[in-house]
Structure 1
Amino acid sequence: MPCRENHLKCDRLTPKCSRCINSGNDCRVAYKFKLSKEIVTYIDETSALVSGRASDDEAPRHLLDGASSTALGANHAPEDPPHHPGPINHPRALHNGTAGPSAFSGRAQGLLSPGSGADESPDRSPGAMGMTRNHRSLPHITRNYVSEPQYPITQVMPQPNVGKHAPRPSMSGEEAHLFRHYIQHIAICLDTCDPLRNFELVVPQRIGTYPILLKATFAIAARHLSRTSEYDPLASNRYHNQCLTQLIPMIDDAAGGLSDENLFAATIILRMLEEMDAITGNESHGHLLGIHAFVNIGDQYMVPGSLSAAAYWAGLRQEIYSAIISQSRVKINLDHFIVDRSLQPADDYTWSNRAVVNLADVLNYCFDAPPSPTQWAALDEHCRRWEELRPSSFEPFFYQERQIPDAFPQSWHHSSCHITGIQYHLLAQLFLAQFDPTIPRVGTKRTSAMKKVTQRIDELMRRLCGIGASNQWAPPAMFEASTGIAMFGDRFEERVDQEAMLDILRRTESDHARPTKAVQQQLTRAWGWMPSYEEH
């Protein structure tokens, strides 16, 4: 206002103050703000949102601080976990507290929707993005709600004893090149469903205190470079051996080796290296067994948002890949409290992780359970509901039906989180279609039923591969497309479809170091081709 700008005291008369009248200035009255001493109230309307009923007599919950906030977290019983679709606090601001994992309970939800930020409008909040695409399914849900955070604002993620000024390890130029390659090309594969990007952001912060993490990043980066460029193929072995020298005795330490999330993360990174080594035909599962050991000791240290939780989800995806290739059940414990199988409103990362867990459940049914129409129907219904209720942000920002001679539709997504959720959902549907127990074994109805299954698999596979081919910037998109091709590609008889699938497999190997040569060879034989795939 003019008075303030001229360093004059305003008498604040309205509509014009006397000083502005005397000076002939335009009087613009500014607003004064001061903090209220009243308690801020957050109303938990979760039950009303889910049921479609508004309750006027629900007791409000207050935003507490200090010890009261911690007590609130302790009072949430794990058996009745809260589901809050609204905005939540970013865990990066929570690391300076003192509460340990025992003070936290409740199911894990993802923490931020892709693209969310502090400057966005309320309708772009994670809670708003988590609303259903088809509002007719939940007719009374509204965005006009306030939800308490998923955990108190003073709640802390369990962190190792790393000082604020952890020493930076000295690196040679070559090692710095490897470390940068890990950050730019490897971490995205492990962080695809993690809003906090732990493998990209947290792991680099700990390399000074935990050298095994640093050596693991060197090993995986060197292996990736040796598969995608002219890089020393033996360099990775040296770093891998150094990791094992430290990792094995530390895991054997019964006093806490298996509860050290840094060792867990290193094991996840080294398991990815094992997956790359399958190109030689000598893939081992040593690190996969190590992941089982970390996961199966219990979930007391696996707090949502922590590196250990990120490692769990990455390890589960690795285990699912192994289960599909070996056509066996998923051996990782799926009953951790961070696992959420519900379909309640939530953020995008939670919805993607729900699709991951559902695929694991489907694989366990397909490869480890006797045919059960009831169980199959329940899994199929869960897929249908996931498709119906998932957030609209999972829709591609550009979609075009396939144009002949193209084999696949174009489907462009802006986040690897959405890509992973949709592709795991499609894989679950593919396996359910293949293992449908309602298909008659014999009789006149079998031919018609099998024709419908073939059409269903054709449609799902084209969508799966279209997402991979349209989003090659995200390595996981190509990984999952290649996985589907390995399982269902032999069903395609048209040469243009076969060529398009082989192109995805070749690019997955050449650009992202995921081995596919064996699959290429198997498919060309199944299709009746001459083994000319080596010429490309």
Structure 2
Amino acid sequence: MPSSTQAQTQTESLATPCVTCREHHLKCDREIPRCGRCVRAGRECRLAFKFKSSKGVFNKNQKWLKTPKKLIYVDETRCLTTGSPLEDVSQYQFHIDETHHEKPESVTSATTPSSSSDSRHHKNSPSSTRDTVFTHDSPSNHSNHTVHSSLYPDTIISQPPSHESLGERKSITPLNSHANSIPIDPGTDVIAPGGAFNSPLYSSTALPLKGRTEAILFRHYIQKLAICLDLCDPLRHFELVVPERAGMCHTLLNAVLAIAARHLSHTTSFDPLASNRYHDECLRYLIPMLNDSSAVSDENLFAATIILRMLEEMDGSTTGQDNYSHLLGIHAFVNVGDQHMVPGSLSAASFWVGLRQEIYIAVITQQPVKVSLDHYIVDRSFEPTDDYTWSNRAIIILADVLNFCFGENVLTVGRWSALNEACEKWSVTRPMSFNPLFYKERTGTEAFPEIWHGSSCHVVGIQHLILAQLFLTQFDPTIPKVGTNRRAAVRRMTDRIELLVRDLCGIGICNQWTPPSMFTACMGIAMFGDQFGERTDQEALADLLRKTEADHARPTAAIQQQLKKAWGWIPDVDEH
């Protein structure tokens, strides 16, 4: 907190934004004594320290202390920005010993202790070698842990320190604190944050990744998994923003590494236990934070929870069941209030992903959507706008339909007609860009038509609207319960359901470049696949389910088993 003298000199507003707003990437109004944004959000408003340089002139007889040959620099950046006391000084020490004979360079502290380094040159041989050394020492033990990189053979790069403080990422493979150096296989590339390289193009690494394996995991997330989250996001937050934020939020970084490891373990021979270590490290910090009002407004933690929920969906293929534990975390972030869900923010992007995840659960469990749909970023209009908003409108229509079908209210004809009209109006007023690039009717030997789209937002928008139409067709209250007209009405309902499911699966098969197209098709098969009576159609549906699990790590074994019983492929033991 600023001193009383500083507080008195502040007359109208703070000179700099408060620390809390800067951490949440929000604009601060700089009001005194607490900014208005923190007051409205119920957060602690932490003020930054102010420093004023002295303009005085020292006396000529001023006595100066003699500087020792060995200096220890302590990085207090984190303490100054957060206002928290310095925890363990030994974790933040950077040593300059007496063997350094060149002119010392200025030491620049990074925002986090783990990314700080002390780079210096040593003349260890006639051919000068550039060394980069990171230390994690206590005053009584100054042993440096260094390794050699085969990628840059002239560079000595050490493992970064492991921090116990909140939000800091622990090493998955701890260093041997009793060894002066760790022999590493020459084929292994270990790159530490802030490490120096001989290449003139690279002065340091972008992220605190511990070796080649973590770099592979991080790249796999960006190239293969982020597309599953950024379906309706023109800014591609999970592909572009999350990787950048992961360098500062270690909970988010561990979530990224956890889901990449899980996906690779399902689709390749990657270590199946690696994901658990990153996942456990996330939960260690994330679970206690959910009870903190300021933490549930942190969009980085919101994004981490979304990623962990996606991982949880993958786990169903191995555990045989979905625990839905991360859904509770998503509910906590969504229900915190509108003030944190600014359009175009990471929080808003996380909301839409969380809603799609909630819809998936609602469909599979045949329950209403439990996420609040009353936020101001939710748009139910049909006014002209961009394609991404149109896709989100279709998603909202499906959520409203699921609440109608599985909610506690009576299925009234009036409400059904309003939802059916919304589906028809969306189809009529949507942009022409939602039309497929290529369409081919199915032939007698093919189960699905060919439907090509060029954008993931078009795929997800059309598919979610088809799902809404499917549920409205199945739950049509105008179908007679009894009487001579019922048989014909049920026949028309079945024909329409088959047509919609074929279109849904055709979009999925022809647009596998965006994996969620297959996930959404599987949702339709799970709910309406039992209405197909032809063996060739049944086999095509089963093949789509198997391909989705094999290629995209989405659990479909339970759905396959249920459909095989419904189709009579295997006996239903429950009947005996």
Task: Provide TM-score, normalisation by structure 1.
Answer: 0.68
Task: Say if 2:347 is the partner of 1:313.
Answer: no
Query: What residue number does 2:332 align with?
Result: 293
Query: How many angstroms does 1:201 deviate by?
Result: 0.3
Q: Does the 8 Å CA contact 1:351/1:390 hold for their aligned counterparts? A: yes
Mapped pair 1:520 → 2:571: no
The match for 1:385 is 425
Specify which structure has the higher proportion of helix: 1
Is 1:352 matched with 2:391? yes
Structure with higher RCO (Cα < 8 A, 6+ apart): 1
User: Could you say what secondary structure the match of 1:399 adopts?
Assistant: strand
* 1:249 and 2:316 correspond: no
Q: For residue 265 of structure 1, what is the aligned residue in structure 2?
A: 303
1:276 counterpart (306, 309, 314): 314
User: Deviation digits for residues 120-162 of structure 1, max 9, x if unmatched?
Assistant: xxxxxxxxxxxxxxxxxxxxxxxxxxxxxxxxxxxxxxxx999
Structure 1's consecutive aligned runs of 4 or more residues displaced over 3 angstroms after TM superposition are 95-103, 160-167
SS in structure 2 at match of 1:177: helix
Between the aligned partners of 1:99 and 1:428, the Cα distance in structure 2 is 43
Does the aligned pair in 2 maintain the 1:423–1:464 contact within 8 Å? yes
Match of 1:476 in 2: 516
Shift of 1:168: 2.7
Cα distance in 2, alignment partners of residues 523 and 405 from structure 1: 22
Alignment match of 2:403 (pick from 364, 376, 380): 364
Alignment of 1:57-96 (within 5 A): none
Secondary structure, aligned partner of 2:339: coil
Q: Give the corresponding residue for 2:156.
A: none
Match of 1:207 in 2: 246
> Among residues 428, 440, 459, which one is paired with 1:400 in the alignment?
440
Letter in 1 for 2:302: F
TM-score normalized by the length of structure 2: 0.64
Aligned to 1:47: none
For residue 225 of structure 1, the aligned residue among 264, 267, 284 is 264
Deviations 1:471-491 (A, max 9, x none): 111101000000100000010
SS in structure 2 at match of 1:408: coil
Q: Is 1:444 aligned to residue 504 of structure 2?
A: no
Shift of 1:286: 1.1
Structure 2's unaligned 5+ residue stretches are 1-24, 38-80, 83-109, 116-193, 195-205, 572-576
What letter corresponds to residue 286 of structure 1 in structure 2? S
Q: Which runs of 5+ in 1 are unaligned?
A: 1-94, 104-159, 532-536
CA RMSD between the two structures: 2.2
CA distance in 2, matches of 1:163, 1:499: 56
Q: CA deviation at 1:524?
A: 1.0
Q: Quick one: structure 1 residues 337 and 96, their matched pair in 2 at CA, closer, same or farther if it must change by over 3 Å?
A: closer
Change (3 A) 1:385 1:102: farther
| Residue identity matched to 2:286 | L
Following superposition, the deviation at residue 99 of structure 1 comes to 7.2
| Separation in 2, partners of 1:248, 1:527 | 43
Matches of 1:163 and 1:398, distance apart in 2: 51
Contact 1:102 1:300 in 2 (8 A): no
Larger radius of gyration: 2
d(CA) in 2 for partners of 1:443 and 1:371? Answer: 20
| 1:150-186 superposed Cα distances (whole Å, 9 cap, x missing partner) | xxxxxxxxxx999799973133111111111111111
SS at match of 2:340: coil
Partner of 2:138: none
Query: How big is the shift at 1:451?
Result: 1.0
User: How does 1:67-146 map onto structure 2 within 5 Å?
Assistant: none
Q: Is the 8 A contact 2:217 2:260 kept in 1?
A: yes
Following TM superposition, by how much is the alpha carbon of 1:403 offset from its aligned partner in structure 2, in angstroms? 1.4
Structure 1 counterpart of 2:315, one-letter code: D
Corresponding position of 2:499: 459
**Matched residue, 1:411:** 451
Q: Is the Cα contact below 8 Å between 2:369 and 2:399 reproduced in 1?
A: yes
